[in-house]
Every structure is written in structure tokens, then in C-alpha cells.
């Protein structure tokens, strides 16, 4: 998958990050400064008019597949709901050097943060892995903290990936259509750690949304930040149904396997989950 020309311009890309941030906030998946968003841009884009300040940035790891490319990323502690009001004050552009080992950080004089997100290592590693494996020229990544889904991950049985997917898929026909590969599940791993970075990269090869148990999710899209936000919204909606049913004594029938099979057939969904 890759975006075709004409490519979105910088203002459009910044606007989609702002829109995604607003929507995550509207589903309560980004309290305070929680959550972060990044875009990998594989075509050349002039960013210095909007982000004129330049400094060296030490990369957490070498990223050969991103050599010469750009990553737009949220500043540490910035509120996702505020990005749309002033994108350049809340975002930075990381320009990876041709060696894939060093980078320059471009920011605005209005910038409201000192460092980029502490989850940047996870963002960068997934962008590098996907660019190397699929050759994509674009990817949006979002880390957010949708409360109903995270709540389920506090119940040990729901950290079983098969069980979690079975329960999430049974509430709305859309879920299997939008997420035919289901949700990948990671155990609790220390936020920002190399262990989380590595496990997250591996899970995002098979899934477009990965649950970081007792913490949040990361979602990816080859199309836009708003599509990545959609995935989080679909999954959080399913988790909210599941939570409602738990609270209500598990009285709901849910979609049956036959009903789900009919959806899969009608919409030609390629999945191994049903």
C-alpha cells in the first residue's frame, strides 16, 4: 500500500493530525497529555517555512528504511485535543539523514514543548519496519488510551488474544469488516521501553491495532491519521459494549458465529477469525 500522487500537502497533513486528535479526545481516549501521533512521509516536502528552527536530534535507533525521509510527531505532554488550534506549536518534524542514523529536528518558534513524545522510539521503529517490509510511502501511527478497552485488559482472561477478539467482534457487524485481522495483544510492558518498542513492532506486522495491556493502544494506517483514529474508535466502541454487558450480568446474545459468517461472506472479508 502506498499513497498515490497528488500527495497531500503539509497543511492537509497537519490538519488530519489535528482532526484525529480531536476525535480521540471526543471518545475520551486522550486524557490530559496522554496519547501521541506521528506520520511517516516518504516524498519530499518543504517544512522549513512552518518549522524554521533546526537542531540535531539523536535517534533512538538506526532506521535505514527511513533514510532521507520525514516523520511528523507530537511534542511531549501536548494535548491531542489542542493540536488543531495551532498544529505547528504542538508538532515537530524529524528529518532523517541519508545515513539513517542521525536526524534534524525542525520546530516552530511557537513550539510549546521541549522534547518530542517519549514514545518516539516505538513510532520510529514501526515506521522503519513497515517502510522496509511493505515499501509504503506513508504511514500514520497513533498511541491513545481508550478506557473501556484498557479496562478489559485489566481482567486477566481478556489478555488472551483469541478471547479478546472473539468478544470484541460480536457486537457490531462493522468490526470484522474494519479489522479483519483483529487486535494484537501485548502484556503490560514498561511505557517507552525497548521491550515495548520491539514487541509492538512485531505485533503491528500482523495487526493494524495493538493493545498495550493496562495502558493503551497503537494503531496504524497507510492512508491517514483519521483512519488510524477510526480503528481506535471501532475497537473502543466494541469494548464499551463488552463492558456494558459485563456490568449488566452478561445477558446479551451478541452476534452469533453464523451471523458473523454471513457478514464475512457478504462483504468478502478475508479473515481467519471467523
- DSSP structural state of residue 75: B
Nearer to Zn ion, 70 or 116 (CB): 116
216 binds Zn ion per the rule CB under 5 A: yes
Q: Which stretch binds Zn ion (CB under 5 A): 10-18, 123-131, 193-201, 213-221?
A: 213-221
Total residues interacting with Zn ion, rule: CB under 5 A: 1
Q: Which residues pair with 185 in a beta bridge?
A: 211
* Least Cβ distance, residue 164 to Zn ion (angstroms): 19
Nearer to Zn ion, 115 or 261 (CB): 115
Cβ contact 166:176 at 8 Å: no
Cβ contact 97:43 at 8 Å: no
Q: Which stretch binds Zn ion (CB under 5 A): 38-46, 54-62, 103-111, 210-218?
A: 210-218
Nearer to Zn ion, 116 or 176 (CB): 116
Q: Which stretch binds Zn ion (CB under 5 A): 3-11, 98-106, 209-217, 231-239?
A: 209-217
Using CA atoms, how far apart are residues 214 and 241, in angstroms rounded to an integer? 19
Taking CB under 5 A as the rule, which mask of x and - marks residues 121-150 in contact with Zn ion? ------------------------------
What is the crossing angle of helices 225-247 and 10-26, to 10°? 10
Using CA atoms, how far apart are residues 142 and 240, in angstroms rounded to an integer? 20
Nearer to Zn ion, 75 or 216 (CB): 216
* Least Cβ distance, residue 103 to Zn ion (angstroms): 23
* Least Cβ distance, residue 189 to Zn ion (angstroms): 11
Binders of Zn ion among residues 15 to 34 (CB under 5 A) are none
Using CA atoms, how far apart are residues 17 and 89, in angstroms rounded to an integer? 13
Give the E-state strand segments of 90-137 in sequence order.
Answer: 91-96, 102-107
Nearer to Zn ion, 65 or 189 (CB): 189
Using CA atoms, how far apart are residues 145 and 34, in angstroms rounded to an integer? 7
Give the E-state strand segments of the chain in sequence order.
Answer: 36-41, 53-58, 70-74, 91-96, 102-107, 138-144, 184-186, 209-212, 216-221
Q: Which residues bind Zn ion (CB under 5 A)?
A: 216
Amino acid at each position: 500500500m502506498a499513497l498515490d500522487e497528488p500527495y497531500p500537502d503539509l497543511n492537509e497533513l497537519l490538519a488530519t493530525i489535528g482532526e484525529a486528535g480531536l476525535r480521540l479526545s471526543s471518545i475520551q481516549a486522550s486524557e490530559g497529555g496522554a496519547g501521541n501521533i506521528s506520520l511517516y512521509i516518504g516524498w519530499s516536502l518543504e517544512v522549513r517555512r512552518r518549522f524554521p528552527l533546526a537542531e540535531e536530534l539523536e535517534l533512538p535507533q538506526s532506521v535505514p528504511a527511513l533514510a532521507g525521509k520525514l516523520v511528523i510527531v507530537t511534542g511531549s505532554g501536548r494535548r491531542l485535543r489542542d493540536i488543531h488550534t495551532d498544529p505547528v506549536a504542538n508538532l515537530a518534524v524529524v528529518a532523517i539523514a541519508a545515513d539513517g542514523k542521525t536526524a534534524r529536528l525542525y520546530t516552530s518558534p511557537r513550539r510549546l514543548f521541549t522534547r518530542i513524545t517519549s514514545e518516539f522510539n516505538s513510532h520510529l521503529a514501526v515506521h522503519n519496519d513497515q517502510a522496509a517490509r511493505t515499501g509504503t510511502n506513508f504511514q500514520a501511527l497513533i498511541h491513545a488510551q481508550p478506557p473501556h478497552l484498557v479496562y478489559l485488559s485489566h481482567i486477566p482472561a481478556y489478555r488472551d488474544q483469541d478471547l479478546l477478539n472473539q468478544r470484541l467482534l460480536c457486537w457490531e457487524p462493522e468490526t470484522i469488516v474494519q479489522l479483519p485481522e483483529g487486535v494484537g495483544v501485548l502484556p503490560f510492558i514498561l511505557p517507552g521501553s525497548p521491550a515495548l518498542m520491539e514487541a509492538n513492532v512485531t505485533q503491528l506486522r500482523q495487526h493494524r491495532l495493538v493493545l498495550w495491556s493496562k495502558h493503551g493502544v497503537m494503531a496504524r494506517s497507510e492512508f491517514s491519521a483519521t483512519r488510524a483514529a477510526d480503528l481506535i474508535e471501532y475497537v473502543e466502541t466494541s469494548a464499551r459494549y463488552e463492558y456494558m454487558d459485563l456490568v449488566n450480568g452478561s445477558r446479551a446474545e451478541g452476534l452469533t458465529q453464523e451471523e458473523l459468517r454471513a457478514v464475512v461472506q457478504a462483504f468478502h472479508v478475508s479473515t481467519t477469525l471467523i
